[in-house]
Amino acid sequence: MQVKDLTPAEWPWPLLLDADPSRSLIDTYIHQSTVMGLLAENAVIAVVVLLPRDRQVVEVMNIAVAPSHQGKKLGKLLLAAAVERSRQQGYKRMLVGTGSTGIGQLAFYQKMGFRMESIDRDYFVRTYPEPIYENGIWCRDRVLLSLDLQSVGIVMRQVRVCPPNPQWVKDFEAEAAQIALALGNNVAHIHHIGSTAIPNIYAKPVIDLLVEVNAIDQVDTCSAAMASLGYSAMGEYGLPGRRYFRKDNAEGVRTHHVHVFAAGSPEVARHLAFRDFMIAHPDCAQQYSKLKRTLAAQYPDDIDGYMDGKDEFVKTMEHRALQWQGLV
């Protein structure tokens, strides 16, 4: 595969229209843009359109991957190439807009280091003559995300696992106290989960908190309180019945995840079973620790590769944990 600039004769209109259904709207920006394509056997299988806004800002106007090649991380590959090229050309910021109902797209851009900047309410209502639906939801609002091209290497570079640290438990306790105040009397329990909750194993230095609440819908009224603690509210984020929040430090490095579920949810039982099984079976915990260190070395700048590499082991241990707890 190769990445190259495409001439107008090479523009893959079916792909472009897959990402933006308005040919007339595409025509307003594509002739002033750079169109980069990812080619396999001389066929364009992915495309990204970059429009300079000024000398310092470039915007991703269109990005699409051929349906037959989706799920292979080609969009990530092409966007990373576009980011690197834009940085080398001297741009300071990259923008991209996407629908507020496109959970997958929002996750994709944020995994690439983009951060939410603003919401243009009713953008799609004003711009397109026909309603657009994503995930069964009428898409009305446009979320604008931005990437600092001067620090993107720091944000995107490293998958880091650290030796076990007793400070993680203290960090959990301090954060849990703040979250209890933010979510109020709705909180039933707050649990420390994830690898930092398992003694004596290597982990990414991110504190995962699992919050059980009496009324899940009431959590939506607490987004401002959580924002005051530095959290971004992500909604269900692909998992029905969850409310997900995440926090980065001043350098844009992830420090905390908060997963909120209704008390007694099967998801609560699943997370706690995995944690407790690992604590009770240190041999399995050490296998997990060794696997994470291997994967971090193998995928130092690819969090998706790191997570995919853990997936089979985690699912196997999770099933054993549920059996151990008598839940399956």
Q: What is the pTM of this model?
A: 0.60
pLDDT value of position 152: 57
Q: Are 159 and 301 in contact (CB under 8 A)?
A: yes
Among 42, 43, 48, 45, smallest CA distance to 5 is for: 48
Question: What's the pLDDT band for 154 if we cut at 50, 70, 90?
Answer: very low
Average pLDDT, the chain: 92
Q: Looking at the structure, do residues 17 and 134 belong to the same domain, yes or no?
A: yes
Classify residue 161: in a domain, yes or no: no
| CA-based torsion, 35, 38, 39, 45: positive or negative | negative
| Mean pLDDT to the nearest integer, 292-309 | 88
Classify residue 162: in a domain, yes or no: no
CA distance 166 to 273: 22
CA distance 279 to 51: 52
pLDDT more than 70, % of the chain: 98
Q: Looking at the structure, do residues 18 and 143 belong to the same domain, yes or no?
A: yes
Classify residue 315: in a domain, yes or no: yes
Domain boundary among 134, 156, 178: 156
Q: Looking at the structure, do residues 95 and 201 belong to the same domain, yes or no?
A: no
Q: Looking at the structure, do residues 75 and 129 belong to the same domain, yes or no?
A: yes
Q: Looking at the structure, do residues 149 and 203 belong to the same domain, yes or no?
A: no
- 85-132: pLDDT as tens digits: 898 888 999 999 999 998 888 988 988 889 999 999 999 999 998 999
Q: Looking at the structure, do residues 103 and 171 belong to the same domain, yes or no?
A: no
Classify residue 284: in a domain, yes or no: yes
Q: Looking at the structure, do residues 50 and 183 belong to the same domain, yes or no?
A: no
Per the structure, the count of domains in the chain is 2
CA distance 138 to 134: 7
Q: Looking at the structure, do residues 183 and 67 belong to the same domain, yes or no?
A: no
Task: Give the range of the structural domain holding residue 210, as residue numbers without chain letter.
Answer: 167-324
Q: Looking at the structure, do residues 136 and 186 belong to the same domain, yes or no?
A: no
Q: Looking at the structure, do residues 319 and 199 belong to the same domain, yes or no?
A: yes
pLDDT value of position 292: 95
Domain boundary among 125, 156, 187: 156
Pair of tokens at residue 52? 């300079």
Domain boundary among 112, 136, 156: 156
Q: Is the pLDDT of residue 211 over 50?
A: yes
Q: Is the pLDDT of residue 173 over 60?
A: yes
Q: Looking at the structure, do residues 189 and 240 belong to the same domain, yes or no?
A: yes
- Residue 316, domain CATH: 3.30.460.10
pLDDT value of position 151: 66
Classify residue 206: in a domain, yes or no: yes
Give 8-50 as a DSSP string. Answer: GGG--HHHHHHH---HHHHHHHGGGSEEEEEEETTEEEEEEEE
Classify residue 37: in a domain, yes or no: yes
Q: Are 58 and 28 in contact (CB under 8 A)?
A: no
Q: Looking at the structure, do residues 47 and 6 belong to the same domain, yes or no?
A: yes
- Residue 58, domain CATH: 3.40.630.30
CA distance 286 to 243: 31
